[in-house]
């Protein structure tokens, strides 16, 4: 009661939407381990940043946990074999983002015990922050909430900022998904251990875990296991989408606003997904790199909804089969939730480090809707969590006036889908904005390349003269 | 109101008008820009499409360049041969060699030969479809068929075939580059019209994997490489690539042994049979994006 009241007083974040959460099917299901499939496929680009550099070739024997791709640069992480076996091939393979990218196919050895090679488990309390960051990067840890941004990059305050608070994201605001929920309920100690390591690395002494109120058991379990020497607060938040977006969570938990185009560090905090924190704890518990993750497989189109531990690189087809297969009216398979998830055209696409769930929708949810003209009702303005004007932006997008959209702060749009969700005319606003952002990005890239070429040409001319 | 004030105001306004009129006349005489009288007449002879295919900022800029002798009239690819001669006659110059280019589609994967692995439901444009998981086509490099190019074409030179593949009418295409920019998959490119050898495929998969998604895909089998003049064609990443610097070596023999028909010898019209079918299906209807696959 007191918690609820304090949150109400704090006010959470403004705008946003309230989609039905549909978490009931899996919220109470314990995490199960999925058996190893016959083959795992590991794309070399599973994270935001430079793809990993290939380290193996066809025919090589690899053990579970062996590095098969090396990080290229700072904003990059290595890729590890998620099962022991033989490299069947290195080839183009369907990537969950719809393209084909270079991937390592490993034929899983059915006789292997699937135990990683013995390795030294680093003692976290002896390590300097730099060494912790290196260990985290080496283990290939990325944000497990979906964006797959390399975690070690966020473990350092950017120049000129001071981190006062570690903010742990347990909001899990996407409908259907329950993987973070189950981690908090089943492994609260692991979460607290991860928090301890991160607090030391970031040199902060306060931590807040933001959890939406529809997960009372998670709040309770986390509260019951807080170590006595850590200043950790579990903050129940009013259920609202997109609470799990970094900037919304900071507004809800700290009452601060991250300036446009700036990082959470500029508001004095770092936000880490609760799943990533548990993954970091695991490195320092077992020494294993990130080779498996917890995935919620759910939706009305799947026969046996489950929370599963799945080796990274398992094909969606194998996962769906393990969960009893698709129902007859299944229509759309999404990686991630229904609001921001990526529809999958090819079920051979593998589960990646950033895949938090596989949601299967049926004809009833995914049926095409007729789009009507905008009636300027303004519902989208009340929904937009970053206070943009989707009505106006939508009209500009239809006219292809992308530059004017940028002047109206299109860059702040995170394509959360709230505007599309509330639109009574079913206008696909979110898709239009994603498209506009892509077009602007390509145009900027083109201009940059042209300038670069011009600079090179003039340099050459200068050298010749 | 008396007559005096009426006359007074007329006189004042008239005086102001006369003064400014004189100023304008003076400015006109002093600051006059001599314009070649041929410019207006020449502009009338040009098509007035302002398409930019000549490389100048519109027809008038092109006319200026032609009058100054900076470029021959043949640089305008929109004019017919006779119109070009008219321009050349008017100026008393040589029309120049027509270096005509046309847009060619580097994909032959219509819905009859390339399968879709998923249905796309959303904004009906190629750019939007490609942004959503690649548009749902089996081949991630191939034409998705929502006609962004046909919509962008100012000359109605692109019509969609019954298999959702754009067909460029070789007679109407002016090489204005609009379709090249409209295609999110970069499947259009401009080539001299007298160039014959093309690989109508951009798929980077090898062998069976390529054929699995499209029956006219290049499988990278290298037969064309062996049959062509050395150095003309090479296979990189499962795709035959023609070196257009050496295009004078081209020879129809290279296409004979292609197992899928990905490499073709084009004489004028690309997709000749599809073109006929597309014209039949169109029968005068304007270019419209086709509906989403339901």
Q: What is the pLDDT of residue A465?
A: 58
Low-confidence residues in chain A, pLDDT < 50 = 1
Q: Report the sign of the C-alpha dihedral through residues B47, B52, B54, B58, in that order.
A: positive
Smallest CA–CA distance, residue B96 to chain A, in Å, is 31
Q: Do residue A274 and residue A387 come from a single domain?
A: no
Of the candidates A264, A286, A308, which is a domain's last residue?
A286
Q: Do residue B108 and residue B33 come from a single domain?
A: no
Q: Do residue B41 and residue B79 come from a single domain?
A: yes
Report CA-CA distances (Å) from A118 to A126, A130, B83.
21, 24, 81
Out of A98, A99, A432, the one facing B123 most closely (by C-beta) is A432
Q: What is the pLDDT of residue A314?
A: 97
CATH number for the domain including A206?
3.40.50.11540
A352 inside domain: no
Binary contact (B133, A432; C-beta < 8 A): no
A contact test, residue of B115, B121, B123, B133 with most A CBs within 10 A: B133
Which of the four pLDDT bands, split at 50, 70 and 90, describes residue B278? low
Other CB atoms within 10 A of residue B65 CB: 16
Binary contact (A435, B135; C-beta < 8 A): no
B contact test, residue of A95, A99, A100, A331 with most B CBs within 10 A: A100
Report CA-CA distances (Å) from B186 to B106, B122, B127, B216.
9, 21, 11, 18
Cβ contacts of B268 within 8 Å, gap of 6 or more? B170, B193
Of the candidates B78, B98, B118, which is a domain's last residue?
B98
B2 inside domain: no
Out of B204, B292, B294, the one facing A92 most closely (by C-beta) is B204
What 3-state DSSP class applies to A4? helix
B61 inside domain: yes
Q: Do residue B151 and residue B221 come from a single domain?
A: yes
Tokens linked to B169: 């009418």
Of the candidates A256, A286, A316, which is a domain's last residue?
A286
Q: Do residue B46 and residue B160 come from a single domain?
A: no
Tokens linked to A317: 């087809």
What are the chain A neighbours of B133 within 8 Å (beta carbons)? 97-98, 342-345
Q: Given phi > 0 = left and psi -120 to 50 = alpha, else beta, which region is A254? A: alpha
CB distance A181 to A221 below 8 Å: no
Tokens linked to A376: 């300027």
What 3-state DSSP class applies to A126? helix
pLDDT tens for residues B57-113? 888 889 888 888 888 888 887 888 888 888 888 888 877 776 788 999 999 998 889
B274 inside domain: yes
| Burial (CB count <10 Å: 0-12, 13-18, 19+), residue A225 | middle
User: What's the mean per-residue pLDDT of chain B?
Assistant: 86
Smallest CA–CA distance, residue A227 to chain B, in Å, is 44
Other CB atoms within 10 A of residue A453 CB: 10
The β-bridge partners of B162 are: none
Q: What is the pLDDT of residue B290?
A: 40
A292 inside domain: no
Whole-angstrom distance, CA of residue A194 vs CA of residue A357: 22
CB distance B37 to B29 below 8 Å: no
Whole-angstrom distance, CA of residue A299 vs CA of residue A361: 6
Q: Tell me which chain B residue has its CA closest to the CA of residue A92.
A: B205
Out of B127, B133, B140, the one facing A343 most closely (by C-beta) is B133
For chain B, what is the domain count?
2
* Closest-CA residue to A119 (of A132, A141, A135): A135
Helices (H) and strands (E) in chain A, counts: 16, 17
Whole-angstrom distance, CA of residue A339 vs CA of residue A341: 6
Smallest CA–CA distance, residue B216 to chain A, in Å, is 19
Smallest CA–CA distance, residue B113 to chain A, in Å, is 18
CATH number for the domain including B211?
3.30.70.20
For chain A, what is the domain count?
2
Which of the four pLDDT bands, split at 50, 70 and 90, describes residue B250? confident
* Closest-CA residue to A318 (of A118, A81, A36): A36
Q: Do residue B257 and residue B118 come from a single domain?
A: yes
Q: What is the pLDDT of residue A464?
A: 65
What are the chain A neighbours of B204 within 8 Å (beta carbons)? 92, 100
CB distance B172 to B159 below 8 Å: no
Q: Report the sign of the C-alpha dihedral through residues A109, A298, A303, B118, in that order.
A: negative
Report CA-CA distances (Å) from B36 to A256, B55, B177, B258.
66, 22, 30, 56
Mean pLDDT, rounded, for B116-134 = 88
Out of B118, B131, B205, the one facing A345 most closely (by C-beta) is B118
Is the pLDDT at B13 greater than 90? The verdict is yes
B contact test, residue of A89, A98, A363, A366 with most B CBs within 10 A: A98
Q: Do residue B89 and residue B109 come from a single domain?
A: no
Of the candidates B83, B98, B113, which is a domain's last residue?
B98
Q: Do residue B237 and residue B113 come from a single domain?
A: yes
Q: Which helix (H) or strand (E) holds A444?
A: helix A429-464
Q: What is the pLDDT of residue A414?
A: 92
Other CB atoms within 10 A of residue A374 CB: 18
The β-bridge partners of A185 are: none
A94 inside domain: no
Q: What is the 3-state secondary structure (H, E, C) of A353-399?
A: CCCCEEEEEEHHHHCCCCCCCCCCCCHHHHHCCCCCCHHHHHHHHHC
Q: Do residue A256 and residue A399 come from a single domain?
A: no
Q: Tell me which chain B residue has its CA closest to the CA of residue A431.
A: B128
Domain containing B89 equals 8-98
List the alpha helices (DSSP H) in B68-111. Answer: 81-91
B71 inside domain: yes
Q: What is the pLDDT of residue A59?
A: 94
List phi, psi (to 5°) of A73.
95, 180
B199 inside domain: yes
Q: Do residue B92 and residue B106 come from a single domain?
A: no
Binary contact (A431, B135; C-beta < 8 A): no
A215 inside domain: yes
Q: Do residue B107 and residue B89 come from a single domain?
A: no
Q: What is the pLDDT of residue B277?
A: 67
Which of the four pLDDT bands, split at 50, 70 and 90, describes residue B142? very high
Q: Do residue B137 and residue B272 come from a single domain?
A: yes
A357-362 and A292-298: which strand pairing? parallel
Whole-angstrom distance, CA of residue A342 vs CA of residue B147: 24
Q: What is the pLDDT of residue B285?
A: 45
CB distance A302 to A360 below 8 Å: yes
What are the chain B neighbours of A432 within 8 Å (beta carbons)? 123, 128
**Scanning the structure block, which residue is given the tokens 């290049």?**
B218
Cβ contacts of B265 within 8 Å, gap of 6 or more? B196, B197, B252, B254, B255
**Scanning the structure block, which residue is given the tokens 């939508």?**
A394
Binary contact (B205, A431; C-beta < 8 A): no
State the DSSP code for A265: G
Report CA-CA distances (Å) from A102 to A54, A77, A257, B218.
9, 16, 40, 19
Q: Tell me which chain A residue has its CA closest to the CA of residue B137.
A: A345
A48 inside domain: no
* Closest-CA residue to A434 (of A418, A399, A410, A408): A410
CATH number for the domain including B85?
1.10.15.40
B1 inside domain: no
Q: Tell me which chain A residue has its CA closest to the CA of residue B205.
A: A92
A410 inside domain: yes
Out of B128, B132, B140, the one facing A343 most closely (by C-beta) is B132
A contact test, residue of B114, B115, B118 with most A CBs within 10 A: B118
Cβ contacts of B150 within 8 Å, gap of 6 or more? B158, B159, B160, B166, B287, B289
Is the pLDDT at B36 greater than 90? The verdict is no
CB distance A426 to A379 below 8 Å: no
Of the candidates A286, A315, A337, which is a domain's last residue?
A286
What are the chain B neighbours of A92 within 8 Å (beta carbons)? 204-205, 209
What 3-state DSSP class applies to A17? strand
What 3-state DSSP class applies to A32? strand
Cβ contacts of B1 within 8 Å, gap of 6 or more? none
Is the pLDDT at B288 greater than 50? The verdict is no
Q: What is the pLDDT of residue A98?
A: 87
Cβ contacts of A123 within 8 Å, gap of 6 or more? none
Q: Do residue B183 and residue B83 come from a single domain?
A: no
Domain containing A169 equals 4-28+120-286
Q: Do residue B107 and residue B147 come from a single domain?
A: yes
pLDDT tens for residues A105-135? 999 999 998 888 877 777 778 888 899 999 9
B285 inside domain: no
B19 inside domain: yes
Out of B117, B122, B131, the one facing A345 most closely (by C-beta) is B117
With the CA atoms of B12, B13, B17 and B23 taken in that order, what torsion angle do they form, in degrees rounded to the nearest 10? 40
Of the candidates B46, B63, B98, which is a domain's last residue?
B98
Whole-angstrom distance, CA of residue B144 vs CA of residue B115: 11
Radius of gyration of the CA atoms of chain A, in A: 23
Q: Tell me which chain B residue has its CA closest to the CA of residue A344.
A: B133
């Amino acid at each position: 009661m007191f918690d609820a009241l304090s949150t109400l007083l704090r006010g959470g974040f403004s705008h946003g939407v309230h989609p039905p959460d549909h978490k009931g099917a899996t919220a109470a299901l314990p995490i199960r381990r999925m058996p190893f499939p016959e083959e795992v496929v590991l794309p070399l680009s599973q994270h935001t940043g430079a793809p990993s550099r290939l380290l193996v070739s066809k025919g090589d024997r690899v053990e579970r946990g062996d590095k098969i791709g090396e990080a290229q640069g700072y904003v990059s992480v290595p890729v590890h074999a998620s099962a022991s076996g033989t490299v069947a091939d290195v080839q183009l393979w369907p990537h969950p983002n719809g393209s084909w990218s270079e991937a390592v196919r490993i034929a899983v050895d059915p006789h292997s015990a699937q135990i990683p090679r013995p390795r030294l488990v680093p003692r976290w309390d002896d390590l300097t922050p730099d060494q912790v960051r290196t260990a985290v990067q080496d283990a290939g840890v990325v944000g497990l909430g979906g964006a797959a941004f390399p975690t070690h990059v966020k473990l350092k305050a950017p120049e000129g900022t001071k981190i006062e608070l570690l903010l742990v994201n347990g909001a899990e605001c996407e409908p259907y998904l329950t993987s973070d929920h189950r981690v908090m309920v089943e492994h609260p100690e692991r979460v607290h251990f991860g928090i301890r390591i991160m607090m030391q690395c970031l040199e902060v002494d306060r931590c807040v875990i933001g959890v939406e109120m529809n997960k009372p058991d998670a709040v309770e379990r986390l509260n019951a296991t807080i170590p006595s020497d850590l200043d950790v607060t579990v903050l129940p938040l009013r259920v609202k989408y997109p609470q799990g977006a970094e900037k919304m969570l900071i507004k809800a938990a700290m009452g601060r606003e991250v300036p446009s185009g700036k990082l959470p560090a500029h508001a004095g905090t770092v936000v880490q997904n609760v799943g990533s924190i548990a993954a970091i704890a695991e490195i320092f518990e077992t020494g294993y790199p990130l080779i498996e993750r917890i995935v919620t497989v759910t939706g009305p189109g799947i026969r046996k909804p489950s929370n599963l531990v799945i080796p990274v690189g398992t094909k969606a087809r194998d996962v769906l089969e393990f969960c009893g297969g698709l129902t007859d009216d299944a229509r759309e398979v999404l990686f991630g939730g229904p609001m921001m998830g990526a529809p999958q055209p090819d079920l051979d696409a593998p589960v990646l480090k950033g895949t938090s769930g596989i949601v299967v929708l049926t004809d009833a949810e995914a049926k095409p809707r007729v789009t009507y003209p905008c009636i300027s009702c303004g519902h989208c303005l009340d929904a937009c969590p970053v206070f943009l004007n989707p009505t106006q932006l939508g009209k500009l997008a239809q006219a292809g006036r992308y530059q004017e959209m940028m002047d109206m702060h299109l860059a702040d749009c995170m394509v959360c889908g709230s505007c599309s969700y509330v639109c009574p005319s079913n206008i696909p606003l979110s898709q239009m904005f994603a498209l506009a952002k892509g077009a602007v990005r390509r145009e900027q890239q083109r201009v940059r390349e042209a300038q670069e070429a011009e600079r090179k040409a003039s340099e050459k001319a200068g050298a010749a003269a | 109101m008396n007559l005096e004030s009426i006359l007074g105001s007329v006189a004042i306004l008239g005086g102001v008008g006369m003064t400014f009129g004189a100023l304008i006349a003076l400015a006109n005489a002093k600051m006059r820009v001599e314009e070649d009288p041929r410019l207006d007449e020449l502009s009338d002879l040009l098509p007035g499409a302002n398409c930019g295919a000549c490389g100048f900022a519109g027809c008038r800029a092109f006319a200026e360049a032609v009058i100054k002798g900076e470029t021959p009239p043949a640089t305008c690819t929109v004019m017919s041969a006779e119109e070009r001669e008219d321009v050349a006659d008017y100026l008393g110059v040589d029309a120049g060699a027509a270096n005509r280019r046309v847009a060619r589609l580097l994909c032959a994967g219509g819905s009859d030969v390339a399968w879709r692995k998923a249905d796309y439901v959303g904004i009906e444009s190629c750019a939007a479809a490609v942004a959503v998981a690649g548009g749902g086509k089996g081949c991630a490099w191939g034409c998705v068929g929502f006609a962004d190019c046909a919509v962008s074409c100012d000359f109605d030179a692109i019509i969609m075939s019954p298999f959702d593949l754009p067909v460029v009418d070789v007679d109407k295409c002016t090489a204005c580059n609009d379709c090249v920019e409209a295609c999110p998959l970069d499947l259009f490119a401009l080539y001299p019209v007298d160039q014959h050898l093309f690989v109508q495929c951009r798929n980077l998969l090898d062998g069976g994997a390529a054929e699995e998604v499209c029956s006219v895909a290049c499988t990278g089998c290298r037969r064309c490489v062996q049959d062509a003049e050395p150095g003309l064609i090479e296979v990189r990443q499962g795709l035959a690539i023609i070196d257009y610097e050496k295009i004078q070596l081209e020879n129809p023999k290279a296409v004979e042994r292609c197992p899928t028909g990905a490499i073709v010898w084009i004489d004028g019209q690309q997709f000749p049979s599809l073109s006929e079918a597309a014209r039949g299906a169109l029968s005068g209807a304007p270019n419209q994006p086709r509906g989403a696959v339901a």
